[in-house]
């Protein structure tokens, strides 16, 4: 559930533009997975792992392992279960019956937010904190049957990734 088709279009345009600019401004090849996050957000833990400094990588293996496990459960559920739709307030809520929903949600949050928060890079930790705040806000708003603000948070997150790509310590050319 998002605000409107127009809001989705604007947020999607910001996200796509930020992703394209991130790729165009890329300075180090190892930063490519993080720079592409606005375009391919499904690989957050692996992207952070590849962009992390060697001394930080060990603490990222938990989120990296949680990512495919969570994606596997969600993919299986999407492939084998019916999608439901119901009217919620002024919007339509879509869902799939996912077993162990709290555990799957925890795995998803650990893979995505955990990787950003544990990655060691100050700007990526900021991105993780903004996304965590966004997830909490969206959860509260969904419970109040108000349209999701996740699209807006995704657009802001894309701009934070752009700031990360343009950071001064990434000044070496792509190799």
Domain membership flag for residue 84: yes
Residue 76 lies in a domain: yes
Is the C-alpha dihedral spanning 35, 41, 46, 52 positive or negative? positive
- Is 175 within a domain? no
Asked if residue 155 is part of any domain, the answer here is yes
For residue 47, the enclosing domain spans 5-170
Buried b (16+ CB within 10 A) or exposed e, 72-102: ebeeebeeeeeeeeeeeeebeeeeeebeeee
Tell me how long the chain is: 175
Task: Please check whether residue 75 lies inside any domain of the structure.
Answer: yes
| Residue-wise pLDDT tens digits, 38-50 | 666 757 888 888 8
- Structure confidence by residue, pLDDT tens digits, 97-107: 888 888 998 99
What is the domain count for the chain?
A: 1
Q: What's the CA gap between 78 and 164, in Å, rounded? A: 33
- The structure's pTM equals 0.71
144 occurs within a structural domain: yes
């Amino acid at each position: 559930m998002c605000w409107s088709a127009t809001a989705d279009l604007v947020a999607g345009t910001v996200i796509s533009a930020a992703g394209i600019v991130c790729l165009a401004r890329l300075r180090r090849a190892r930063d490519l997975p993080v720079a592409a996050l606005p375009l391919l957000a499904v690989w957050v833990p692996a992207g952070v792992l590849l962009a992390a400094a060697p001394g930080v990588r060990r603490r990222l293996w938990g989120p990296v392992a949680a990512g495919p496990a969570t994606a596997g459960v969600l993919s299986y559920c999407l492939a084998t279960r019916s999608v439901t739709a119901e009217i919620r307030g002024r919007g339509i809520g879509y869902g799939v019956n996912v077993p162990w929903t709290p555990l799957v949600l925890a795995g998803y949050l650990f893979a995505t937010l955990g990787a950003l928060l544990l990655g060691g890079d100050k700007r990526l930790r900021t991105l993780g904190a903004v996304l965590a705040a966004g997830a909490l806000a969206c959860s509260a708003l969904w419970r109040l049957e108000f349209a999701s603000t996740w699209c807006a948070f995704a657009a802001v997150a894309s701009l934070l990734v752009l700031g990360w790509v343009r950071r001064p310590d990434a000044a070496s050319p792509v190799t």
